[in-house]
Amino acid sequence: MKTRTLGTDLEVSAIGYGCMGLDFGYAGQLDRADAIAMIRAAHELGVTFFDTAEIYGPFTNETLVGEALEGVRDEVVIATKFGFRFENGEPAGLTSRPESIRAVAEASLKRLRTDRIDLFYQHRVDPEVPIEEVAGTVRDLIAEGKVKHFGLSEAGVDTIRRAHGVQPVTALQSEYSLWWREPEDAILPVLEELGIGFVPFSPLGKGFLTGAIGTDTEFAKEDFRSTVPRFSEDARKANQALVDTIGRLADAKGATKAQVAIAWLLAQEPWIAPIPGTTKRHRLEENLGAATIELTASEVVGLTQAVEAVEVRGHRYSPTAQAMIDR
């Protein structure tokens, strides 16, 4: 597996592994033993960059990652996140108060079975807490050796600049793919200017860009895609044109749609490291195979122009989830 550098010195595998779906957010979740086996399989296949968060589960996802990677801890980069408050074990809004950040860090260290968090993201920007306070708290945790790098997730340009002025931001994690390209407008330019890495989540459009989801697909009630407007039946029907466009290049390259979609992301900038997730071994191998797909400059431009001609239908989040996005 090739590597990439986020920020000034955080080296990660070019393709990471998003652990969320192992036991949170999607249908078809794995039992504990199978989830741990998937994480270990990712490492055996060359992944050194693993993404989790306290809210995944909640709390259980970090324990899976901690147990799976304890034996290879010094060979991997583990990213986790803070920023939510909980009532009776369930998410109940945002909080990035300094005392909350510290409490999350201590709890995450225990669940992850480690003495340091390699990359500590603010999961969502808390409008009630100045970002300077957030960055200052993480800066203190870095000075104490409990955290190595500071990250933001779904943050806007002003927030990124203000945070970076207090504690250098190593990486921004936000959604980015061939069917959600908003970061290109303002986010990517400021990341390049400041030397911040970018970690796209949902690089396969929550599975849609693989071609495995059709108009007849039914989502279980526990699958969050059942609440996403972009996954309504009408939207899926309209958005199929995007998948077909990717498929034409995939066929020409002897690759899969998923591989081309990830390869396109990798071709955008050398400081981009996507984190696709999956619960299936063959999909894991397929996704990581994207690192070997070389798209020419003309292929990248051609695919970009082709997908621009497709009008993607539907919002990417429910109104409640969208309200947490800082732009």
State pLDDT tens for residues 131-140. 999 999 999 9
Per-residue model confidence (pLDDT) at position 200: 98
Residue 309: inside a domain: no
Residue 175: inside a domain: yes
Residue 172: inside a domain: yes
Helix H segments across 167-230?
A: 187-194
For residue 104, give Cα distances in angstroms to 85, 123, 137.
Answer: 10, 12, 12
pLDDT tens for 303-315 read 999 999 999 999 9
pLDDT tens for 137-157 read 999 999 999 999 999 999 999
Q: How far apart are CA 171 and CA 160, in angstroms?
A: 10
The percent of residues in the chain predicted with pLDDT above 90, rounded, is 95
Q: How far apart are CA 325 and CA 174, in angstroms?
A: 10
Secondary structure letter of residue 24 according to DSSP: S
Residue 32: inside a domain: yes
Question: Does pLDDT of 326 surpass 90?
Answer: no
Average pLDDT, integer, range 110-122: 98
Structure-block tokens of residue 200: 């796209």
Task: Supply the mean pLDDT for the chain.
Answer: 97
56 is catalytic: yes
Question: Does pLDDT of 320 surpass 90?
Answer: no
Per-residue model confidence (pLDDT) at position 318: 87
Residue 211: inside a domain: no
Q: Which residues contact 173 (CB under 8 A, 6 or more apart)?
A: 51, 79, 121, 151, 152, 153, 154, 198, 199, 200, 201, 275
Question: Does pLDDT of 327 surpass 80?
Answer: no
CA terminus-to-terminus distance, the chain: 34
Catalytic residue among 56, 121, 176, 317: 56
Q: Please name the helix (run of DSSP H) or strand (run of DSSP E) that holds residue 141, with its range, or none.
A: helix 131-143
Residue 215: inside a domain: no
Q: Which of 220, 228, 232 is nearest to 319 (CA)?
A: 228
Residue 152: inside a domain: yes
**CATH number where 134 lies:** 3.20.20.100
Q: How far apart are CA 211 and CA 219, in angstroms?
A: 15
Report the domain count for the chain: 1
Q: Please name the helix (run of DSSP H) or strand (run of DSSP E) that holds residue 110, with its range, or none.
A: helix 98-111
For the chain, how many residues are written?
Answer: 327
pLDDT tens for 231-288 read 999 999 999 999 999 999 999 999 999 999 999 999 999 999 999 999 999 999 999 9
For residue 322, give Cα distances in angstroms to 135, 204, 253.
Answer: 23, 19, 36
| Confidence tier at 58 by pLDDT (50, 70, 90) | very high
Q: How far apart are CA 112 and CA 52, in angstroms?
A: 10
Residue 238: inside a domain: no
C-beta atoms surrounding 141 within 10 Å = 22
Q: Are 154 and 127 in contact (CB under 8 A)?
A: no
For residue 275, give Cα distances in angstroms to 42, 137, 309.
Answer: 11, 26, 26
For residue 255, give Cα distances in angstroms to 3, 40, 259, 295.
Answer: 21, 25, 6, 11
Q: How far apart are CA 124 and CA 50, in angstroms?
A: 19
Average pLDDT, integer, range 203-222: 95
Domain holding 85, by residue range, is 3-205+269-293
pLDDT tens for 178-187 read 999 999 999 9
Question: Does pLDDT of 70 surpass 80?
Answer: yes
Question: Does pLDDT of 3 surpass 80?
Answer: yes
Q: Which of 170, 203, 196, 191 is nearest to 77 (CA)?
A: 170
